[in-house]
Structures are given as structure tokens and as C-alpha cells.
Chain A
Amino acid sequence: MMTQNNHNLLGPALLTILLLLAPLVIPVYWVMLLSEILIMGLMAVSLNLLLGYTGLLSFGQGAFFGLGAYTAALMLQAGYENLFLILLAGMLVALLAALVVGFFSVRLDEIFFAMITLGFGMMFFSIAHNWLDVTGGSDGLPVFNLPSLNLFGFQLTFYTPINMYYLVFVVVLIAISLLWLIVHSPFGLILKSMRENKQRVSFIGGNVKTLRIAAFAISGAFTGLAGVLFCLFNNMATPEFMHWSFSSKPIIMSIIGGTGVFLGPLFGAGIFFILEQIIIQYTENWMLFLGIILIPIVLFFPQGVFGTLRNKFFKQGSK
């Protein structure tokens, strides 16, 4: 009879517990690094909804990340301090922008899709870089006051790295769980079908364009959420978030980790940052070594490091 792939939840559960307890044992510097890994991991997992599941290579995710970050920074500057409101607003702005960009972009495929998303991303970058009055231009927008959270009468603030880490942890956990639900939903199966064969999807009655726009918008919204978190974490929104070179990071992370595994991109983000930390202790030329490491990964680990290892040790079905 029909059985679904076994969703082994043991690994994710262990990972959650580890991440929950990590700040108790690791130094503060690494707690901050872990926050950054989680934020970029969320960006990468969101990108992979497009890259790994829908088969669309977006080179403009930085725009949505940046929009989330700027939304947060502008709201904080204007005196809004409700954390939920800021998180939701960042997502919403990114969602709307992604709907517009998606509307124009999804009719293209492959390299053309990559190029047009790169183009749109860079338009946002140009705006952020030049609209001095609103975005602060190339200096970016600093954030001085962080929102706080009133939890059952306790006033939680996020000025310490540990508190910030737990904020990031909780938001990323919820966001990634939602994305997990989405990729395993009927919508998620249709996305995979489009990745495999978009012509067939349209010949079973699916409107490929609308479905792709939906995927693009969802991915954009979660990317915006990651941007809000990064703005809070970093106390800053800068145009660099929207540059194509920033947009390339979640792609690198996804491919390092493996686009065929749901959590692959998160692991990719971890590998990326940890490698960076190790390498910059020895040399300034971290990019050189990143390149040297990436080459064999692309050539010999077609399913990413995490994907290849998983397939080797736990013979599991397709995702």
C-alpha cells in the first residue's frame, strides 16, 4: 500500500534540544555566531523552497531580506516597539514585493529567471543605496532601540547576546516548522511536480504561473522575516543586504548543505560560518579558501555535503 517517506523527526528534535541548550555551554562569541547561522539558515531554507523544491534559481533574495531589515529599522526609528508587529510588517512588505517581482519573473526559466531576479534585486539595491532621506544611503540605517516583549508580566529585552539568541531561535524554529509544513503539504507536492515537469503540471490543470508566484511570495516573506531578525541582531539595515553578492550566499549555503534535503540549507549555513571562523584565524583570504572548498563540493557532492552523507548512512527515499 501507499506509504509516505518516513519523516524521521528524531534528528530535528535532537537538533532543537542542542540549539536550546547550546548557549549554556558555549562562549558568548559563538552564541552570536549561532544566531547569525540560524538567521542565514532561515534565509537559505526559504530560498530552497524555490531552488530545491520548485526548481527556480533566484538571485534576488537579498532584496526581500533587505526589505525586511529596512522595515524593521524604519519602524523602530519611528517609535514602534511591538515585536510581533515588526516581525509581521517585515514579512508583509517582503511578501508584497515578492508578489510583484514574482509576477514579472516567473514566466522565465533557468538562467533567464536567475538574471531577471538579479536585475530586480539590484534595482532595490540601487534604491536603498541612493534614497538617502529614507534609507540613509550607503551608510545604512542604524537601530538604537530594540523592541521588547511582555511575556506573562515579564518584560523581556534583547540587548544581551543570549536573549537575542533565544529570540532568533524561537522565531527561526517557528518559521522553519511552517516551511516544513508547506513543503509536505499538497501545495508542496505540486511545487515538486513543477520542478520535475512544469509542462505536465499545466496539462493536469495547474496554473504554473500562479503556483510559482505563490512559491516566490512565500519564500520572499520568510526571507523578509530573516531580514527583520538580522536587523535586530545586527542593529543595522544596510543596502549590502540587497546586493547580488549577498543574494548568492543562501545559494552557496543551500548547495553546500544539499538542496534535496529540507534542512540541508540550514546545515550549509552552519558549515559556511564555521569554516569562515576557522579560516579567518589563519588568513585574511577567506574567500580564496571558500572558493577552493566550494569547487570539490560542486564537483563531487551533487547532493550537498549533508545530502550525500545522509544518503550514504541512512538510505532514505527522495525528499
Chain B
Amino acid sequence: MEFLLLNILNGLSWGMLLFLIAIGLTTVFGVMGVLNFAHGSLFMLGAYLCMQSMKYFDSFWFGLLVGPLCVVVIGVLVEKYLLKRVYDRDVSYQLLLTFAILLVLDDGVRMIWGSGYHIVEPPAILNGIISIAGQDYPVYRLFLIIIGPIIGGLLWSFFHFTKWGKIIRAASFDNIMAEGVGINVPLIYTSVFALGTWLAALGGALAAPQQSLIPSMGEKIIIESFIVVVVGGLGSFPGAFAGALLLGLLESFGTVFAGRLQMAIPYILLAVVLLVKPNGLFKKGV
């Protein structure tokens, strides 16, 4: 029983991080049609810049606030000067351009902070262990499980109750041509990319106390986020949520049940969903 519970908790906490990253990825895809290979690097940058900001002001919360905002600045520059030029190009060029950005960001971080591990301590209040069903469990992971739905809920409200949110949703999830209804498209694109960047970086900052920081930490998560958004349905908000939790739980239980095959689980999930429901589990309305 305890064992089941612990695996569920582990799966959920990992799933929540995946969700934060995937939701940005899927919104950017929905609005601009670009699948951003560098999205994982923005996650990684979020973690590093959170760590860096903590050095100036010794507080995790400060890092969590400032780090992702710095990444947003980088994201906006990337969108305005690079991405913008490939919106109408072939998908291979879009992937390659964002892959090049990934190389620059990852190696840039390696140049500045070195290729070794870095550790970020959780804030004191969350830096402990709690007993769940007789087992020790890190408080920080529970924090992640709680914060995920909170951010998700806020985002959902933003998309449904604010004017900007509705516009973005119309452009992304409902595939309405924003130009037709007199909306400033370049501004929408930049804001959506900024939002996506912020979510990725926030995910990175939140992940920082839970995993060690290395420059390649974005490369693992970008592939898993691809899987999440494809499984959930590209451009789908509920799809990203369900996909992230599904993958998080599968991976968590995979370590127990699948043994060596565990590594292949995300890819098997991806292939099966693409073959059975090519548009993802939460297909957009026709």
C-alpha cells in the first residue's frame, strides 16, 4: 500500500513539472505552429538563473521570481529576432532553428557555469521530510504536487476569464485566424512566446531544488514534453495536463515494474497513441 502511494506521489510530482513545461510548449505550437526544440533549454535556464539570483539575495523565493523573468527577456529576444522569420517555413527548418538555439543555450550555460553539477537547496520551510504511511517523504515533492494544480488553475482562469487569455485561446485551441478579428498578431505571438518561456523557466526553477543542475537537463525533458503534448493532443490544454500526469505515473511505476525496459516506456506510449489516436487523446474539436 505504502509503496503504491509513494509511487503515485513521485509520479504526480514529476508529472506536475512536465505539465508546466508541456503547457508552454503546446500553447506556443497552437498559436504559432512551431514546435520549439529549445523549450527544454528555457527550462534549464530557469533553473540556472534561479540559482544565480539566489546568490545575490539569499532566498529561493526571490530566485523563483527573478530567475524565470530573466529567461523571459531572452525568450522575447529569440522570438522577435529569430523565430519570427520561420513561421511560414517548412517544419524541418523550424525544428532545426530551435535546435540551433538549444545548442547555443546549452553550451552557453556550460561555458558560464561549467559542465559539473550544481545543487539548489529548497527553502527552509520546505526542506524536510514528512512521514507518509510510515515512509519518509520529502516535503518539497508534496509542494510540487500542490503547486502544479494551482498554477494550472490560474492559467485555466487566465485563458477563460481574461480578454488576453480568450484571444490566445481563440488563436491556439480554436484555430481562429486572429488577423480576421482585428488582433495585433505579432504582439500576440511575442506574448504567447513570453508566456511559454516563463512557464518553462518557472518549471526549471521549481525543479532546481529537486534535481541537480546540469546543462543537459533540458535535453531529457524536452523529449518527454514532446511526448506529453503529442500524446495529449498538440495545442490542447487538458491534453497537456492529462498527458503529463499519465507519463509521470507511467515512469514512476515503470521503475518498479518494467525493470530495464523502463527507459522505453515514454516512447512506447508515444508510438501507441500516435498509431491509435494520431491527433492525441484530447483531440481538438473538428
Binding site for B on A (CB under 8 A): 51, 57, 104, 107-108, 110-112, 114-116, 118-120, 122-123, 125-127, 129-131, 244-245, 248, 251-252, 255, 259, 285-288, 290-292, 294-295, 298-299, 302
Contacts and interface: CB of A to CB of B under 8 A. Distances in A.
Given A122-B267, A126-B264, A294 B100 contact: yes
Contacts of B101: 291, 295
Given A115-B274, A116-B275, A299-B97, 19 more contacts: A108-B274, A111-B91, A115-B227, A119-B227, A119-B267, A119-B268, A122-B264, A123-B268, A126-B261, A131-B260, A252-B96, A252-B99, A285-B108, A287-B103, A288-B108, A291-B101, A291-B104, A291-B107, A298-B96
26 contacts: A57-B91, A107-B278, A112-B274, A112-B278, A114-B95, A116-B275, A119-B271, A120-B271, A125-B263, A131-B260, A251-B96, A255-B93, A255-B96, A285-B108, A286-B107, A288-B103, A288-B104, A288-B111, A290-B100, A291-B101, A291-B103, A295-B97, A295-B100, A298-B86, A298-B97, A299-B97
B251 interface: no
Contact of A116 (B92, B260, B270): B270
Contacts of A127: 264
B110 A111 contact: no
A126 B82 CA distance: 34
Given A248-B99, A252-B96, A255-B96, A299 B85 contact: yes
Nearest to A294: B100
A200 to B, nearest CB: 19
A314 to B, nearest CB: 24
A298 B111 contact: no
B163 interface: no
Contact of A287 (B92, B95, B107): B107
Interface residues of B, number: 40
B174 interface: no
B124 to A, nearest CB: 37
B107 A288 contact: yes
A127 B196 CA distance: 34
Contacts of B91: 57, 110-111, 114
B164 to A, nearest CB: 27
Interface in B53-108: 82, 85-86, 89, 91-93, 95-97, 99-104, 106-108
A121 B149 CA distance: 33
A290 B103 contact: yes
A196 B104 CA distance: 33
A84 B92 CA distance: 36
Contact of A130 (B93, B111, B263, B267): B263
A285 B261 contact: no
A255 B104 CA distance: 18
A122 B270 CA distance: 11
A25 B81 CA distance: 45
A185 B165 CA distance: 53
Contact of A115 (B82, B86, B100, B230): B230
A170 B185 CA distance: 54
Nearest to A120: B271
A136 to B, nearest CB: 14
Contact of A126 (B93, B111, B263, B278): B263
A298 B107 CA distance: 19
Contacts of B89: 302
Contacts of A287: 103, 106-107
Contacts of B110: 285, 288
A127 to B, nearest CB: 7
Contacts of A129: 263
Q: Closest 10 A-B residue pairs measured CB to CB?
A: A291-B103, A288-B107, A126-B264, A291-B104, A294-B100, A130-B260, A119-B270, A287-B107, A126-B263, A119-B267
Nearest to A101: B271
Given A118-B223, A120-B271, A294 B96 contact: yes
Contacts of B223: 118, 122, 244
A251 B95 CA distance: 10
Nearest to B105: A291
Contact of B230 (A104, A112, A244, A299): A112
Contacts of B275: 104, 116
B42 to A, nearest CB: 15
Given A119-B270, A123-B264, A295 B99 contact: no
Among B86, B96, B219, B275, max chain A CB count under 10 A is at B96
A291 B35 CA distance: 18
Contacts of B48: none
Interface string B230-269: 1000100000000000000000000000001101101110
B226 interface: yes
A116 B219 CA distance: 18
A56 to B, nearest CB: 10
Contacts of B106: 287
Nearest to B259: A130
Contacts of A255: 92-93, 96
Contacts of B111: 285, 288
Contacts of B35: 111
A295 B77 CA distance: 14
A294 B234 CA distance: 27
B9 to A, nearest CB: 25
A51 B226 contact: no
Nearest to A51: B92
Contacts of B82: 295, 299
